[in-house]
Structure 1
Amino acid sequence: MAKRAIFEEVQTTARPAATVGVIDGAKRGSRVLARAWLITLFVLVVVMIAVGGLTRLTDSGLSITEWKPLTGAMPPLTAEDWEAEFELYRAIPEYQLQNQGMSLSEFKVIYWWEWGHRQLGRVIGLVWAIGFFGLLLTRKMPVGWSGRFLALGVLGGLQGAIGWWMVSSGLTGTMLDVASYRLATHLGLAFVILSLIAWYVLSMSRPEAALLQARRDKDATLMTLGSVLIGFTFVQIVIGALVAGIDAGRNYIDWPLMAGGFTPPGMWELDPWWRNLFENDGTVQFFHRVTGYALFATIVAIWWRARSSANRKTTLAFAGVMHMSILQMLLGIITVMYSSPWYFAILHQFGAVILICLAVRARHRAKYPLTQSVRA
């Protein structure tokens, strides 16, 4: 048997280099498509919230008195169609008690606002269906995500039903507007959907392997505080919807007092007492103010705790929430002091969108910290 040299090559055929992230690579395209679809949905929901706010501010929400999810997509096309729609509107309390004598041309303005609002809802549903079933049929659905994406569609359908439940409250009796608690439910669910989409977009922006690795370094305390932050912000948004539902922001325009006192006059004058929480403009605005102060204090406290995080990017995420809360509080004060003109009201509502999305991002960073250099 021949002797071999110590450094003799024993195999000359080159071996292929190991591929990193084979599992992620197989699903990389599906995550990119899913993320693009989610971002589209996110933008549409943000626009929907703004359009819904403008629909309320222009008193257009009751202009369409029927709920026709499919055939309602077609607007009136003839003079007879317009007259029929106008006749339905003339039968409800808002026209009889508030808009008596409105012309057909004036009715068309509010009709188009509400029609556009409902049409945008249909577009969102169509975009969801195309994306969801498209990912399934092309086998591009990310593993483990079909249930979560299906839930978005279910919530969207529920939102449409709640929208009609809200509108129907203003079609009978002596109501001039929709019931404030139904409006709050409708807007609250919109923010739930928006927050879920924001979380999913953040998760889809990073490979699954990177998320699993990052989760090992999660900050459990900041995750809990992030949940508190999201929940508290959501409560404040719902109370803000109650304010909007009864136009409570247009009264008591002094600040920091209300009609010269810490609490408004007649705060508990309605009977039974709980009606004041929904129907008394002074009471509703008072609680919106107080909850805003408490939320701001909570945000500052959580930001102070986040400063001790080992991950600088996580700290910055919570700092972003704190800075936005300052701007949002100032917007709220200005909106009240100018008796809630539509442009300030919409800016304040859009500020709520940014604030809750930043809170979602902060919690996501606490659960899945971004990598940082040793120097950082």
Structure 2
Amino acid sequence: MDSLEHSQSADEVATQRHHGRPAALARWLMAVAGVIVIMVVVGGITRLTESGLSITEWKPVTGTLPPMNETQWQAEFEAYKQIGEYQQINGPAGMTLADYKFIYFWEWFHRLLGRFIGLIYALPLAWFWIKRAIPTGYKPRLLALLALGGLQGTFGWYMVRSGLSTEVTDVSHFWLSIHLLTALFTLAGLIWTALDLRRLGQIPNARPARITGLGWIVSIALFIQLLLGAWVAGLNAGLASDSWPLMQGRLVPEFDATKGLWWALTHDPYLLHFLHRWWAWVAVIALVVLARRTRAFDRQASIAIHSAFGLQIILGIVTVWTGVNIWVATAHQAVGALLVAATAWGIHLIGRTKSSTQ
């Protein structure tokens, strides 16, 4: 009798888990993840063209449209003239209104794309919710991803605001790292949730994957590398050297430690550039182990991880050699986002062995 009741209970749970349209949800989340990769690329261009401070206000609704006439353009340009970036750098360099319109475009497009992502996430989520198409247990996770999107916009504004004064000429590299890493964490979350839902569509009683010990090691190694990369970008530390593997003709460059080692680790462009280029190999070792483990489950995932980190290393070196060429550096950031996606895929695959389908 107990056995029969247990069997019925298991069947009920399986039926409940299968309720909804997991395959459709998975396709939708993968599409959103693809747009976030584009968003990361546009964000990289915005940073590399020094466009991030061109719009000095946050207007969630009216800011959707760019200036529509010469008077509006002049008003925006005058607001930009009040900050340090213009007064200390672009103004003395002879910036014209046409020059300003160029940097304005990239920041405006970056913000517009953020709004677009919010719409293509929130509206389908509401539709799936109303149609009761979301499988049991997934609503909190989908809401958490929506909240992360909202935080991403908030962090972006705090990042911009950190550079809107006459004393500084750039945004805080700490806020830049928070902004970028939140985007990449959201990307990984979308990929992970989509893979869980895809598996649920194939196996009605499949449990969500769990992060294994190896998964945590790889995640931490990659997180440190991404954090260092964000700080390098924020401090323009990529320009600290145009040679590889040596810097200043030596393996370990000279750096400013007069304010303490912690300050140097978080602020000195030479030390951060050095750490970013060599911690990469620690991350590579972890990723190679992950790729070898995933090969037993899905050879394509293994190829994706190997290809992503291999290309990322090459682009990183070429970025240095070219003195941070904008398109090479943009490709470097784009492949970084793809590497996060491939890593999430691999960690998910090995995490399935920990998630019973009983």
| Alignment of structure 1 residues 207-356 onto 2, 5 Å | 207=200, 210=203, 212=205, 223-269=212-258, 271-303=259-291, 306=293, 312-314=296-298, 317-318=301-302, 320-356=304-340
Matching residue within 64, 80, 83 for 1:89: 80
| Deviation of 1:358 (Å) | 1.4
Give the gaps of 5 or more residues in structure 1.
1-20, 370-376
Q: Are 1:120 and 2:108 an aligned pair?
A: no
The verdict on how the C-alpha distance between 1:106 and 1:324 changes in structure 2, with shifts beyond 3 A counting, is closer
Inter-partner Cα distance in structure 1 for 2:22 and 2:131: 13
| Deviation of 1:95 (Å) | 0.5
**Contact 2:37 2:337 (8 Å CA) reproduced:** yes
Aligned length: 340
**Contact 1:242 1:284 (8 Å CA) reproduced:** yes
| Alignment of structure 1 residues 151-170 onto 2, 5 Å | 151-170=144-163
| Alignment of structure 1 residues 127-142 onto 2, 5 Å | 127-142=120-135
Write out per-residue CA displacement over residues 231-258 of structure 1, whole angstroms, 9 at most, x where no aligned residue: 3212211110111111111221222121
Secondary structure in structure 1 of the residue aligned to 2:46: helix
Write out per-residue CA displacement over residues 76-117 of structure 1, whole angstroms, 9 at most, x where no aligned residue: 112211111111000000000011131111111111111111
**Contact 1:180 1:278 (8 Å CA) reproduced:** no
Inter-partner Cα distance in structure 2 for 1:89 and 1:327: 38
Inter-partner Cα distance in structure 2 for 1:276 and 1:112: 35
| Deviation of 1:209 (Å) | 6.8
* Structure 2 match to 1:58: 49
Q: Are 1:188 and 2:177 an aligned pair?
A: no
Write out per-residue CA displacement over residues 239-297 of structure 1, whole angstroms, 9 at most, x where no aligned residue: 1011111111122122212111121113424x244332333210110110221121122
Inter-partner Cα distance in structure 2 for 1:185 and 1:22: 39
| Deviation of 1:27 (Å) | 3.2
Give the fraction of aligned pairs with identical amino acids, expressed as a percent: 35
Q: What letter matches 2:266 in structure 1?
A: F
* Structure 1 match to 2:7: none
Write out per-residue CA displacement over residues 305-356 of structure 1, whole angstroms, 9 at most, x where no aligned residue: x2xx8x7225763464244323321221121122110111111112211222
Of Structure 1 and Structure 2, the greater helix share is in 2
Normalising by structure 1, what TM-score?
A: 0.83
Secondary structure in structure 1 of the residue aligned to 2:115: helix
* Structure 2 match to 1:365: 349
Q: What letter matches 2:270 in structure 1?
A: G
Normalising by structure 2, what TM-score?
A: 0.87
Q: Are 1:23 and 2:39 an aligned pair?
A: no
Q: Are 1:175 and 2:168 an aligned pair?
A: yes
Q: Which runs of 4+ in 1 moved over 6 A?
A: none
Inter-partner Cα distance in structure 2 for 1:334 and 1:267: 26
CA RMSD of aligned residues (A): 2.6
**Contact 1:135 1:141 (8 Å CA) reproduced:** yes
Task: Answer 1 or 2: higher relative contact order, Cα 8 Å, separation at least 6.
Answer: 2
| Deviation of 1:190 (Å) | 0.4
The verdict on how the C-alpha distance between 1:106 and 1:316 changes in structure 2, with shifts beyond 3 A counting, is closer
Secondary structure in structure 1 of the residue aligned to 2:170: coil
**Contact 2:14 2:205 (8 Å CA) reproduced:** no
Q: What letter matches 2:60 in structure 1?
A: P
Inter-partner Cα distance in structure 2 for 1:40 and 1:354: 14
